[in-house]
């Protein structure tokens, strides 16, 4: 059983390595990009129960409401309830929330190509809703607009996003970290993001 899991993991990494490297060469989002302008007419769906969705008439949140006039840490990941996302990625931001707030960050956001109801259930399971805002990108338009989409059909996930993180101020990307492949967790975690925000803030003060 363990061998089968390891074999699937190795196969997944080999199948996505080339995809990830190709993506990084052609991604449209970069430091200095305006996320709102890069994804015009795109909205995200805040995590909620089905009943809350019905009562809100399935409302969505424009990117301008999320980013404009705010300092935001945002991280994207392949999917709710998946391995690295659950065990490492979200917990790394939950653990560092006080550091982000001390640097004047208004909100820490997790986004994934999932519906908002799945994101809500996952956030509840992780006990992270008080620290992190969870949003669904149910049709993948946000990630497609930024060229952050990735085909993970090999893992039965279909079209999702790669693993990434950014520090965004008034809509402009100040820090951007993208993993080479979605199975890796080297540059997009909460600790790394906190360090790079400090570097960015220090550089602006010089």
Any catalytic annotation for residue 205? no
Q: Measure the CA–CA gap between 29 and 35, rounded to whole angstroms.
A: 8
Report the distance separating Cα 148 and Cα 24, nearest Å.
9
d(CA 74, CA 203): 21
Distance (Å) of CA 20 to CA 29, 86, 205: 15, 21, 34
What are the counts of helices (DSSP H) followed by strands (DSSP E) for the chain? Answer: 10, 9
Residue 57 to residues 45, 51, 95: CA-CA distances in angstroms? 12, 10, 34
DSSP state letter for 105: -
Laid out side by side, the sheet with 43-46 consists of: 61-62, 43-46, 133-136, 107-112, 71-77, 164-169, 172-178
Active-site choice (47, 85, 97, 123): 85
Q: List the catalytic residues.
A: 85
């Amino acid at each position: 059983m363990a061998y089968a899991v390891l074999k699937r993991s190795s196969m997944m990494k080999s199948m996505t390595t080339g995809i990830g490297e190709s993506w990084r060469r052609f991604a449209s989002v970069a430091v200095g990009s305006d996320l709102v302008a890069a994804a015009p007419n795109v909205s995200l769906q805040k995590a909620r129960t089905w009943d809350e969705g019905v009562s809100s008439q399935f409302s969505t949140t424009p990117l301008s409401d999320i980013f404009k006039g705010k300092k935001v840490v945002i991280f994207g990941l392949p999917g709710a309830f998946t391995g690295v996302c659950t065990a490492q990625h979200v917990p790394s931001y939950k653990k560092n929330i006080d550091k982000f707030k001390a640097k004047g960050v208004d909100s820490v956001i997790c986004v994934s190509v999932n519906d908002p109801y799945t994101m809500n259930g996952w956030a509840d399971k992780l006990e992270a809703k008080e620290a992190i805002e969870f949003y669904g990108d149910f049709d993948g338009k946000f990630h497609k607009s930024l060229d952050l989409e990735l085909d993970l059909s090999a893992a039965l996930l279909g079209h999702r996003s790669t693993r990434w993180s950014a520090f965004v101020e008034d809509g402009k990307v100040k820090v951007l970290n993208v993993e080479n492949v979605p199975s890796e967790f080297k540059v997009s975690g909460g600790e790394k993001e906190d360090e790079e925000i400090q570097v960015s803030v220090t550089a602006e003060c010089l």
